[in-house]
Amino acid sequence: MKKLFAILLTVVMVLSLCACSSNSTSDSQSDSGSDSAPDASGGSDMEYVKDKGTLVVGITDFEPMDYKDDNDEWIGFDADMAKAFAESLGVDVEFVEIDWDNKIMELEGKTIDCVWNGMTLTDEVTSSMECSNAYCNNGQVVIVPSDTADKYQDTDSLSELSFAVEAGSAGEKEVAALDLTYTSVKTQADALMEVAAGTSDAAVIDSLMAAAMVGEGTGYDKLTYTCQLNSEEYGVGFRKGSDLAKALNDFFKESFGDGSMTECAEKYGVQAAVIEQ
């Protein structure tokens, strides 16, 4: 009898120990899941930017939107509007040149806080970023030497040309869709240099950049633009779910309403492209 009682007691103790071990494992897994889950009460993207005191803006060298003046300061329609938006948030602005093809990765990795550089609102952009309302109209245009322009006035005439386009740009998308021969370069400015140097027959860049950069009175007075390949709109991209996109929409509306957005656009000659907010 005593032996039977001892056996039963041993079984109860073993079961008890197993139950404790199971509970401990369950608690450990629960704690581990809690640690890896996002903080439900975590701060917003705006709070993140305000806490660090700087809005980091991802750009490329793209006149008249973002480019450097003689004092090595970033200016342009986008640059000036970004400065004003940062001021409205009570933070400083910092401009960082990025590889345009890596803009989504830069944003998600928090190397930058937004992409504000005449960015076309493509399906890829709108699905990967929290985007502002459209603020400028644009299109992709063909750049060729002025003395050959008469030969290339429509898409049917472009098949024999070799193009330079910015990697990851709307221009690259257009030439790929037309099955044209092209080389990807780092920036649209590089694409222009390729044509000026004769290493590419043509380039495709934004119409706003073309108006500012090529033709009589510009640094590329021997280049011109011919046919426009599409119509598009510019927007600013933030991290997915960011509350900064709404804040910028409100800022755009206020700036358009008080005339400061139009005044800035006139300074850089893009007022005809600005979309009413």
List b or e across 163-187, with b for residues whose CB sees 16 or more CB atoms inside 10 angstroms. Answer: bbbbbbbbbbbbbeeeebebbbbeb
For range 182-191, the mean pLDDT: 96
User: Is pLDDT at 271 greater than 70 in this prediction?
Assistant: yes
Q: What pTM value is reported for the model?
A: 0.78
pLDDT tens profile 22-59? 443 334 333 333 332 233 335 799 999 999 999 999 99
Reading the block at residue 214, the tokens are: 């090529």
End-to-end CA distance of the chain: 90
Reading the block at residue 124, the tokens are: 């890829």
Provide the pairing of β-strand 181-185 with 162-166.
parallel
pLDDT tens profile 126-136? 999 999 999 99
The whole-number pLDDT of residue 259 equals 98
* Helix (H) / strand (E) containing 96: strand 92-97
For range 238-242, the mean pLDDT: 97
The helix-helix angle for 45-52 and 244-258 (nearest 10°) equals: 80
Reading the block at residue 149, the tokens are: 């322009």
Nearest residue to 79 via CA among 58, 100, 99: 58
The length of the chain in residues reads 277
The whole-number pLDDT of residue 42 equals 58
- Cβ pair 277, 136 in contact under 8 A: no
The whole-number pLDDT of residue 43 equals 75
Reading the block at residue 261, the tokens are: 């957005």
The whole-number pLDDT of residue 196 equals 97
Domains and CATH numbers, the chain: 45-137+233-273 (3.40.190.10), 140-230 (3.40.190.10)
DSSP letter for each residue of 127-158: HHSEEPPP-EEE-EEEEEEGGGGGG-SSGGG-
User: ∠ CA 93-165-141 to the nearest 5 degrees?
Assistant: 90
User: ∠ CA 256-258-263 to the nearest 5 degrees?
Assistant: 70
Answer with the residue of higher pLDDT: 129 or 15.
129
